[in-house]
Amino acid sequence: MPELLLFLHNFFQTLQLVCRMANFKEYKTLNLPEIDKEILQFWETQKIFDKSVNQRSLDNSFVFYEGPPSANGKPGIHHVMARTIKDVFCRFQTLKGKRVERKGGWDTHGLPIELSVEKELGITKEDIGKKISVDDYNKACRETVLRYKDLWDNITQQMGYWVDLENPYITFENNYIESVWNLLKKLYDKNLLYKGYTIQPYSPAAGTGLSSHELNQPGTYKDVKDTTIVAQFKMLKNEQSAAYFKGAEEGEVHFLAWTTTPWTLPSNTALTVGPKIDYALVQSFNQYTHKPIQVILAKGLVGKQFSGKYEAAENQNDLNNYQPGDKKIPYFILKEMKGSELVGIKYEQLMPFALPYENADQAFRVIPGDFVTTEDGTGIVHTAPTFGADDAMVAKKAGVPAMLVLDKDDNPVPLVDKQGKFRPEMGDFAGKYVKNEYYKNPPEKSVDVELAIKLKEENKAFKVEKYAHTYPHCWRTDKPVLYYPLDSWFIRATACKERMYELNKTINWKPASTGEGRFGKWLENLQDWNLSRSRFWGIPLPIWRNEDGTEEVCIGSIEQLQQEVEKANAALGLNQSVPDDLHRPYIDDVVLVSPSGKEMRRELDLIDVWFDSGSMPYAQWHYPFENEEKFKRNFPADFIAEGVDQTRGWFYTLHAIATMVHDSVAFKNVVSNGLVLDKDGKKMSKRLGNGVDPFATLDKYGADATRWYMISNSPPWDNLKFDLAGLDEVRRKFFGTLHNTYSFFALYANIDGYQYGEENIPLEERSELDRWVISLLNTLVKETEGHFADYDATPATRKIQNFVNDQLSNWYVRLSRRRFWKGEFTKDKKAAYQTLYECLLTVTKLMASVAPFYADFLYKNLTDKGSGFKESVHLEDFPEVNDNYINKNLEQQMDYAQRISSLVLSLRKKEKIRVRQPLGKILLPVLDEGFKNQVEKVKDLVLAEVNVKELEYITETEGVIKKKIKPNFRTLGRRLGPNMKLAAQTLGKFGQNEIAELEKAGGFDLNLPDGSVERLGLEDVEITSEDIPGWLVANDGPLTVALDVTMTDQLLAEGTARELINRIQNIRKESNFNVTDRIAISIEKHEAVESAVSLFGNYICNETLATDLQLMENLTEGQNVSLATDVDIKMNVVRREG
């Protein structure tokens, strides 16, 4: 009886017994979402997360920081991505024995929350304090912040993200705020906090400054046409500038400077030139007044500015012929100079409406600036420090004052007020809006146009024209934004720039380019951190000042505030107390007293919400007021991960605060993941409707398939093109195959009553196949551990997948099947079980961090009835590598077997010979003994796999192998260098004889062009077999296989017999016979089957459990069967009773 049927026989005999003693649960289908639910419940009831953390010792921590999401918005699929990465490495470290506490957190402040509240209440910022009290407004914010907390909790749970949501830090809580205040106080004490006047985007129409975030809303930059002026600034004569006045008509020389915002011209206090730029002194005539002029501008822009009416003159004398009204105006370059030569020259104020209230003598001169380009304009930049950030910067550096005048309260203010109107100092222009858009009924001529006319009349305008460019607009009012100086509190980040840069070098960035590039460059060009936000819902700046700003106090704790309040109460006769809620408006009511006895009120600003989140390492523990030990144990973080968009957000704020306050990094390793795009690579957006619902995805595909897909598809720092088809593939290919492999194991293990815990059969007593797969397994463990430890999970998942699919399932199990069928529980069978079991069990641990649900499911199925196991795979230790088990030789052997099989199958396919047809032999050219020995060990596997009778080695002595030779580039390249080409050519021309000679001599002398001789040894060349003339041959790299397709009668008959068996078995199955039923077979007499029946009758009967097989003429009953093309026969199969 063939093995299979024997096995089936046993199977049914023992079925009942088996059912009772089944150790391993069997499943019909794989339902990942179902498994998710089951495992989720298990984790919850058994508190597996807690156990996984608490079973590890406190002094072996791996510190992770959770970047707090805002629960004000719904979670998206990209959050699943980011959190998968966090989870993977935290789980991995847990398996490696680390204690990984993960405190969750919520970001609760900030603009998005204010916006959504305003939208819901149907109000705008202006209404706050009017239509709605600040008090009510803040209450509404507080209620909104955790609006979607449930959804977040759900996604967290459903995706299997382990984070402590029981005790999260929440940024609006007083404890959190107190810690933040403490940090601010420390910065204040280090003199790193100051109030400054800077140029910020400001919307006069809305009366508020705008953050860069607001300015980057879609649609804020619009194309506009503005009146632009190239103005003439009259140079003053002194020692330095005297040279430029030689021969100047009327003794006037002008600088030309261009502006797209003429309304800033009255505020001009400097002209900026590029020190390295070449400038030219040009003689010509003004096109509006026709007066002779001599002007200075960048040499490279002369042609651009002197275009249209202007025409280059041959020589200076041509200029004398010019008459006003001539069509062409001549110009001539008199002199050239470097920008650096111009620096320091003074000029006459262009529009003398006012003077800076301080250091006016330092104004109106030429200063250097690196930002000056010669792309457009004149290469000389009109500089109004009150209305340009660059302007303010270079002016400050050069000691040039800004155009600030004193208002009626003696406060310095710019010439434009906060409504966007010119101040009274501006004479005829006073009270006019600087942008026509600010008027309800705009006048015909804008301020820009009027200024242009005025300058033209005064011979101060060189050119006036319309210019199209993009300009930022307030996203709320749609009106243009002004760059306007505002009072703000700053953190002097620039003071710690170098230290931040140094510390950053010690951080392991994934990918490295983000750390060096995006983050490194950012640190190099670091600006002071503008902390101020004039908003309502956020952490209030804890600084109180007296009215003139001469006295101030920075509060660093509630206790200090308490003391100050008491002091103030005593001094001022008040009865205040520290408010229960540290937010506005309550905190604004607190009045403190200065050392000199004056009232101090809080600076009304809130702080940037980014400071909130950057404070989390300290504030999450309410440090330093509590938990000092805990904080010390958890600082800095070993690992954080967020999207790249956090580079200048959270990553920076963490780094900055840690550097400035603790002179330390905040994190040692950071993974910044890319965006999640739709399958076509487009950004997901509500507008396009191409977003992927994370809940629906998890419901349908399960968390593991989603996570596995995200990690394995591409390195997380590349953008991920999220395609549901990919999820499906992962589910089918990886999880499906793994599940089937387990099912196979469970099926037979239960039948045999296999149980783990039996004595392990020593590896050396197991078969080649077993030792091979164990070797691969150990290699896999080694490699995956390396990848995970290096925060690079993608190759780990790919290797696990390859192992499971191609090696374990499709090779080991397939080739081992017969061992599992065998009736008796032999040692070999036991070895097979143990091997497969060990592979599966190890795989659960390797995959557990990426696919926590299925891994645990499988682990539990494998270990349920065993002893000495953990409750969950997540309480396990990562597998240890056993280097002794790794046998590269064995891996090589099996690789040969797989490739030879594949080559033979490919040849069969080409010749259209099906595998069922046995063939005589395979010829394998052997170039060295080692190869032969390796193949010999897997010979039987190969022959069985490809249904060939024998494998014959042919060696060179037989002279039938056609060989190919090529140089070993790796060894030779370094030695030969430029002569490499010669070597390749020479070897390329080698015929069979030359190759044979080289082999015999063990080398070859290569004559080099310089007359010297280089000896090439055998290790310097690669000789492969290429062909066996007269045979059917296929190659795969160095492997060559020939197949003997000669068909003997014997082989043909056997092939036909196997075809017959196949058809008979089909009939058995169609007829619903029991697998143990005996049958009788009648076959219509046909010459195609005669020899098969006569030679292999017994074989056919054995395989089909037939007791009788006859060839009959004129068979009347039975069915028609197609045996081969053109061979149709009739066959009758009947069940034998009894």
Measured from the CB atom, the residue of 393 and 960 that comes closer to RNA is 393
Select which of 107, 638, 678, 770 is catalytic. Answer: 107
Query: Which CB contacts under 8 angstroms, 24+ apart, belong to 866-871?
Result: 866/755, 866/756, 866/757, 867/757, 868/757, 871/46, 871/48, 871/51
Give me the least distance between CB of 222 and RNA, in Å please: 10
The H or E element spanning position 632 is helix 628-633
Q: Looking at 80-88, 346-354, 383-391, 621-629, which segment touches RNA (CB under 7 A)?
A: 383-391
Question: E strands of 158-273, at which residues?
Answer: 164-170, 193-203, 208-209, 221-234, 254-259, 270-273
Give me the least distance between CB of 70 and RNA, in Å please: 17
Give me the least distance between CB of 138 and RNA, in Å please: 28
Q: Looking at 128-136, 310-318, 599-607, 735-743, which segment touches RNA (CB under 7 A)?
A: 735-743
- Written as six digits, the tokens of 383 are 């500089």
Interface with RNA (CB under 7 A), residue from 27, 42, 49, 221: 221
What is the spatial distance between Cα 845 and Cα 877, in angstroms, rounded to a whole number?
A: 8
What is the spatial distance between Cα 814 and Cα 810, in angstroms, rounded to a whole number?
A: 6
Q: What share of the chain is helix, strand, coil (3-state, %, to 5)?
A: 45, 20, 35
Q: Which residues of 704-723 are buried (b: 16+ CB within 10 A; e: fewer)?
A: bbbbbbbbbbebbbeebbbb
Select which of 68, 485, 511, 925 is catalytic. Answer: 68
- Written as six digits, the tokens of 610 are 């980014």
- Residue 382 found at the interface with RNA (CB under 7 A): yes
Interface with RNA (CB under 7 A), residue from 317, 550, 562, 740: 740
Interface with RNA (CB under 7 A), residue from 495, 913, 984, 1127: 984
Give me the least distance between CB of 965 and RNA, in Å please: 12
Whether 443 sits among the annotated catalytic residues: the reply is no
Q: Is 102 left (phi over 0), alpha (psi -120 to 50) or beta?
A: beta
| Ranges within 461-480 binding RNA (CB under 7 A) | 469-472
Measured from the CB atom, the residue of 328 and 909 that comes closer to RNA is 909
CA-wise closest residue to 7 among 822, 818, 833: 822
Residues 813-832 as x/- pattern, contact with RNA by CB under 7 A: xx--x---x-----------
Measured from the CB atom, the residue of 546 and 647 that comes closer to RNA is 647
Amino acid letter for position 1003: G
| Ranges within 263-282 binding RNA (CB under 7 A) | 264
Interface with RNA (CB under 7 A), residue from 284, 615, 737, 1056: 737
H-helix segments, 159-240:
174-189, 212-215
CA-wise closest residue to 429 among 266, 229, 268, 269: 266
Interface with RNA (CB under 7 A), residue from 377, 556, 925, 1118: 377
Measured from the CB atom, the residue of 538 and 716 that comes closer to RNA is 716
Measured from the CB atom, the residue of 154 and 217 that comes closer to RNA is 217
Q: Looking at 579-587, 763-771, 850-858, 968-976, which segment touches RNA (CB under 7 A)?
A: 968-976
Measured from the CB atom, the residue of 395 and 568 that comes closer to RNA is 395
The sign of the CA dihedral 452, 454, 456, 461 is: negative
Give me the least distance between CB of 536 and RNA, in Å please: 24
Measured from the CB atom, the residue of 128 and 897 that comes closer to RNA is 897
Backbone angles phi, psi at 737, to 5 degrees: -65, -45
Interface with RNA (CB under 7 A), residue from 23, 52, 70, 259: 259
Measured from the CB atom, the residue of 554 and 900 that comes closer to RNA is 900
What is the spatial distance between Cα 1085 and Cα 562, in angstroms, rounded to a whole number?
A: 110
Interface with RNA (CB under 7 A), residue from 513, 550, 577, 1074: 513
Size of the site for RNA (CB under 7 A): 99
- Written as six digits, the tokens of 380 are 């000389």
What is the spatial distance between Cα 999 and Cα 314, in angstroms, rounded to a whole number?
A: 82
What is the spatial distance between Cα 1131 and Cα 1060, in angstroms, rounded to a whole number?
A: 10
Select which of 28, 686, 912, 1000 is catalytic. Answer: 686
| Ranges within 517-576 binding RNA (CB under 7 A) | 517-518, 521
Interface with RNA (CB under 7 A), residue from 108, 269, 809, 872: 809
| Ranges within 658-687 binding RNA (CB under 7 A) | 675, 681-683
| Ranges within 1020-1079 binding RNA (CB under 7 A) | 1034-1037, 1058, 1061-1062, 1065-1066, 1069
Q: Looking at 629-637, 807-815, 880-888, 949-957, which segment touches RNA (CB under 7 A)?
A: 807-815
Interface with RNA (CB under 7 A), residue from 12, 371, 439, 825: 371
Residues 184-213 as x/- pattern, contact with RNA by CB under 7 A: ----------------------------x-
* Bridge partners for 126 per DSSP: none
Interface with RNA (CB under 7 A), residue from 249, 718, 864, 950: 718
Q: Looking at 437-445, 760-768, 772-780, 809-817, which segment touches RNA (CB under 7 A)?
A: 809-817
* Residues shown for the chain: 1138
Measured from the CB atom, the residue of 726 and 852 that comes closer to RNA is 726
| Ranges within 696-715 binding RNA (CB under 7 A) | 713-715
The 3-state secondary structure of 849-897, one letter per residue: CCCHHHHHHHHHHHHCCCCCCCCCHHHCCCCCCCHHHCCHHHHHHHHHH
Measured from the CB atom, the residue of 171 and 712 that comes closer to RNA is 712
Whether 1010 sits among the annotated catalytic residues: the reply is no
Measured from the CB atom, the residue of 186 and 254 that comes closer to RNA is 254
Interface with RNA (CB under 7 A), residue from 560, 805, 882, 992: 805
Question: E strands of 983-1054, at which residues?
Answer: 1003-1007, 1013-1017, 1021-1027, 1032-1036, 1039-1044
| Ranges within 882-941 binding RNA (CB under 7 A) | 902, 905-906, 909-910, 914
Q: Looking at 334-342, 543-551, 878-886, 971-979, which segment touches RNA (CB under 7 A)?
A: 971-979
| Ranges within 124-183 binding RNA (CB under 7 A) | none
Whether 821 sits among the annotated catalytic residues: the reply is no
* Residues 226/448, Cβ–Cβ less than 8 Å: yes
Whether 68 sits among the annotated catalytic residues: the reply is yes
Whether 610 sits among the annotated catalytic residues: the reply is yes
What is the spatial distance between Cα 119 and Cα 113, in angstroms, rounded to a whole number?
A: 10
Select which of 93, 158, 620, 646 is catalytic. Answer: 646
What is the spatial distance between Cα 101 and Cα 64, in angstroms, rounded to a whole number?
A: 7
* Residues 753/21, Cβ–Cβ less than 8 Å: yes
CA-wise closest residue to 265 among 441, 384, 347: 384
Measured from the CB atom, the residue of 337 and 982 that comes closer to RNA is 982
Measured from the CB atom, the residue of 544 and 735 that comes closer to RNA is 735
DSSP letters, 355-391, are --SS-GGG-SEEEE-TT--SSSTTSEEEE-TTS-HHH
Whether 595 sits among the annotated catalytic residues: the reply is no
Give me the least distance between CB of 169 and RNA, in Å please: 26
* Bridge partners for 493 per DSSP: none
DSSP letters, 749-771, are HHHHT--TTSPPPPGGGS-HHHH
The H or E element spanning position 118 is helix 111-121
| Ranges within 296-355 binding RNA (CB under 7 A) | none
* Residues 697/653, Cβ–Cβ less than 8 Å: no
Pairing of strands 637-643, 667-673: parallel
Whether 686 sits among the annotated catalytic residues: the reply is yes
Q: To 5 degrees, how large is the angle CA 160–CA 161–CA 167?
A: 125
Amino acid letter for position 616: M
Select which of 225, 246, 683, 827 is catalytic. Answer: 683
Interface with RNA (CB under 7 A), residue from 67, 110, 726, 925: 726
What is the spatial distance between Cα 370 and Cα 378, in angstroms, rounded to a whole number?
A: 15
Active-site residue list: 68, 107, 610, 646, 650, 683, 686
